[in-house]
Amino acid sequence: MDKLTVVKIGGKVINDDSALDAFLKKFAKIEGKKILVHGGGNIASEWQRKMGIEPKMIEGRRITDKDAIEVVTMIFSGLNKKIVAKLQGLDTQALGVSGADLNLIKSHKRMNLVIDYGYVGDIERVNDDILNSLINLEITPVVCALTHDNKGQLFNTNADTIASALATGMSGTHKVDLVYCFEQLGVLSDFESKTVIPQIVKKDYEGLMKNGTISDGMVPKIDNAFDAIAAGVEQVKICHFDAIDLVQTKEYPGTVICQK
């Protein structure tokens, strides 16, 4: 099977044009087939405030009401095309899509008896046939964090989860590596010294959560990583965006998530 690299970029790099440019230059040089997934929640929050709409968060999760989904759709779509334009300038044939385009990702509204998250979607299905068609044409899909219910409704959907779902969906036809890139060096055991945990296996993960080494936003990221591995993804890496050119080398400096 051919190699496929699914990369999710997020965090502060999305907000910084120079950092984003540096990342995309390295991403464009990744050998073989690749898919890029991006978020943009921080930018959406900034624009909500500019429009006089205070973002609503509960336990770190965004409440996407009617006003918020309009802003999120606008920001994610604009950022998507910005990234595509930059990749075209780097001789990478890219196509920007949401989950609604080509019926790529179908979702349903998140159901929770305690919290109404609004227009937040949980993924049901990935159209891997469409993805295969695109990458076989040597097109690099650039996927933003919007999905749909196939009934006309868009949903805000966690970009880490989208990356995991795409990687899982493609694992039947490709040897897939999933890479989460952000502003940290990897999963850290100590924020003061920026000490990276080089490898995390399933049996050690619960202990790292219990002692507080892994907490907050890193938990769902690693949960998604283990879900992807259990579903057939070759390996998952979490690293600084500047290390994207090293993910296929022995010099890779970040964290590797392993089943055992």
Burial (0-12, 13-18, 19+ Cβ within 10 Å), 109: middle
pLDDT tens digits for 204-241? Answer: 898 898 888 888 778 888 998 999 999 989 889 999 99
Per-residue pLDDT tens over the stretch 6-62: 999 987 888 899 999 999 999 999 999 999 999 888 888 888 888 888 888 776 677
Question: Given this model, what pLDDT does residue 115 score?
Answer: 85
- Per domain, the residue ranges of the chain are 2-258
Looking only at the bridges linking them, the beta strands covering 105-109 and 121-126 are antiparallel
Q: Mean of the per-residue pLDDT values for the chain?
A: 92
Q: How far apart are CA 67 and CA 78, in angstroms?
A: 17
Distances (CA, A) of 168 to 32, 63, 127, 145: 18, 27, 11, 17
145 pLDDT tier (thresholds 50, 70, 90): very high
- pLDDT, residue 70, reads 93
217/209 Cα distance (integer angstroms) = 12
Q: Which of 42-46, 98-102, 196-200 has the lowest mean pLDDT?
A: 42-46
**Predicted pLDDT at 34:** 97
The band of 121, judged by pLDDT with boundaries at 50, 70 and 90, is very high
Nearest Cα residue to 90 out of 139, 34, 141, 24 = 24
What gap in Å lies between CA 94 and CA 6, rounded to an integer? 14
**What share of the chain in percent tops pLDDT 90?**
67
148: which residues sit within 8 A by CB, 6+ positions away? 98, 99, 100, 103, 105, 106, 107, 121, 154, 155
pLDDT at 59: 63
pLDDT digits (tens, 9 = 90+) for 151-166: 999 999 999 999 999 9
CATH number of 2-258: 3.40.1160.10
Q: What is the pLDDT of residue 172?
A: 92
Residue 56 φ/ψ region, left for φ over 0, alpha for ψ in the -120 to 50 degree band, beta for the rest:
beta
Q: Residues 169-185: pLDDT tens digits? A: 999 999 999 999 999 99
**Whole-Å CA distances, 78 to 82, 96, 104, 147:** 6, 10, 19, 16
Average pLDDT over residues 192-201: 91
Cβ-based neighbour number of residue 127 at 10 Å: 17
Give 3's strand partners: 175
The C-alpha atoms of residue 27 and residue 243 are separated, in whole angstroms, by 10
**CB of 129 closer than 8 Å to CB of 7:** no
φ, ψ (nearest 5 deg) of residue 83: -65, -40
Find the mean pLDDT for residues 65-93. Answer: 95
